[in-house]
Chains A and B, each alone.
Chain A
Amino acid sequence: MTRDTIVSVFNEVAVSQGRTLAPLSDDLRLTECGLDSLSFAIVVANLEDSLGVDPFNAAEWVDFPVTLGDFVQLYDRAVA
């Protein structure tokens, strides 16, 4: 489950960066989830290691994910 992996990585990074996460629902805006840019960079690096993909690096990618749901979808498509 991509979503479970993503949620656990969000939690790990929040703890290590000393940040408080908002309750993670699909319509939560990423910029309101409690992580800063550096934390997101670490989330994306960790996900690349655990899922083997970096969907942000794909050539056809253009739209930035805005909500957690968008973010999960981006990874779902990349893993598929």
Chain B
Amino acid sequence: MISLWDAVAPPGATIAGGFRDRAGHVDLAELQAGSTFGDALESLADRSVLIATHEQRASALALVELDGLARRVVLCTPDLSAAQLDGVAAAAEADAIVVDSPTDRSTPAPYVVSARPRALQGSRRTRVATEWVLLTSGTTGTPKLVLHTLESLAGSLLPGPDSAPRPAAGGEALVWSTFYDIRRYGGLQIYLRAVLTGAPLVLSCAGEPTAEFLGRAAAAGVTHISGTPSHWRRALMSGAAALLSPRYVRLSGEVADQALLDSLRATFPQARVAHAFASTEAGLAFDVDDGLAGFPEAFVGGGSGAVDLKVEDGTLRIRSRRNASRYLGDGAKALQGEDGYVDTGDRVELVGGRYYFRGRQGGVINVGGLKVFPEEVEAVLNAHPRVRMSLVRARRSPITGAVVVADVVLNETSAPAGADDVKQELLSLCRQVLPAHKVPAKMQIVPALELTPAGKLVRPVG
């Protein structure tokens, strides 16, 4: 059993790495004799802890401090409502919550962390294999809790027989950054890479304009940087992307199209541009670094044993040690099929020796890397007294990959009067209860929606 801290601070070695954000910089070495929990750290032993800080830096430190100490850590994304947080706390059986500003919440027991480590009596000791829980959207608007371990998240980055070679001493120093929030799978991957290789990590701050973040990243000498295709399009549009001179540019979380890959190559001619496939449930599956969209056919069916891919019923399925172990909570469904594969729900098509992504199975819409279940939005629309039924679907977008659009059938088929008012009412209803990316960008009132013989909505494929 090895904890994050054991890997960061092997006996006799110098501790390298740390986190930089808009407010300043903190070195991991400061945790050797200090803690952002102060003397309260010990009381978190064996607890199930929600990490729900406003700024990423506080979460970044808390994870290093709690892995190996807490029974379970739950990485809460900053967009959770108070009600969702309560639901997550119940499902995770949380008995502590870590925040970075004073809270009026009394359960679970709040722990307010400081921005910098304070003096810590005694030394750190790894006592449990901490469970790591990531959140991902579910059909009902309640996040699903996905259970991982440090091993499944970090893979070969952890010291051990299969470990990836560490960067050679004296080589050019790496500085990592990510547009992602480190509390989402894609960002957490970069966090672990930085922490486990002793490289500094430049974090974005809540509400920070893209150009400012890029300016900070450039000033910090970032060499390796990752984000979703939507993050990268935004960076290219900021005019500030060229401030960076990265050696490695990584895309994940959404389909990387050829136009974007070409733009990035033109903007960063000195960089290796790679796109990766990963999901919270399936874990990191593969990297593609030949500069082309899609992935080679040879990736599928090889069965190297480390990561097995197969395509069944048109969707990509993955079995590997990077898979999550299960969903947490009452009545949670199984995460893997009986064959041990996780169905990613991503439809792929083989064209000329290469697989290309063709949208999501079950109509899940990916808006800039955030999942939207059509049923969740339809439930909001259908609750309006004048709505008979609705269909929520994806519309392709060159900016965010997709946007959400809705077709709505009203009750009074003979009275289209006031349809515009209903549209406005429906949109403001959606804005009250849904995060912005789930609110239909376009809505049209239609006379009818097509149904299958079984009486279900006909959902567009792709």
Contacts and interface: CB of A to CB of B under 8 A. Distances in A.
Contact of A30 (B237, B259, B395, B441): B237
B436 A38 contact: yes
Contacts of B427: 16
Contacts of B441: 38, 41-42, 45
Contact of A54 (B262, B368, B398): B398
Contacts of A56: 259, 398-399
Contacts of B210: 31
Q: Which of A30, A31, A40, A64 has the most CB of B within 10 A?
A: A64
Contacts of A38: 367-368, 400, 403, 436-437, 441
Q: Please classify how large the interface on chain B is, using the bins under 10, 10 to 19, 20 to 34, 35 or more.
A: 20 to 34
Interface string A5-32: 0000000000011100000000001111
Interface in B338-395: 367-368, 395
Q: Please classify how large the interface on chain A is, using the bins under 10, 10 to 19, 20 to 34, 35 or more.
A: 20 to 34
Given A31-B210, A45-B397, A62-B262, A37 B238 contact: no
A63 B403 contact: no
Nearest to B403: A41
A37 B239 contact: no
A65 B427 CA distance: 30
Given A30-B237, A66-B237, A41 B399 contact: yes
A32 B209 contact: yes
Interface stretch (B22-30, B135-143, B187-195, B228-236): B228-236
A40 B441 CA distance: 11
A40 B238 contact: no
Interface string A50-80: 0000101100011111110000000000000
Interface string A35-49: 001101110111001
B263 interface: yes
A12 to B, nearest CB: 12
B196 to A, nearest CB: 31
Contacts of A18: 431
Contacts of B266: 62
Interface string B406-449: 00000000000000000000010001000011000110000000
B209 A31 contact: yes
B436 A65 contact: no
B211 interface: yes
Contacts of A64: 233, 236-237, 263
A27 to B, nearest CB: 11
Q: Which of A16, A18, A65, A67 has the most CB of B within 10 A?
A: A16
A37 B232 CA distance: 11
Nearest to A55: B398
Interface of A: 16-18, 29-32, 37-38, 40-42, 44-46, 49, 54, 56-57, 61-67
Given A29-B211, A31-B234, 10 more contacts: A18-B431, A37-B230, A37-B234, A40-B237, A40-B400, A44-B399, A46-B442, A56-B259, A62-B259, A62-B262
5 contacts: A30-B238, A31-B234, A42-B441, A42-B442, A63-B263
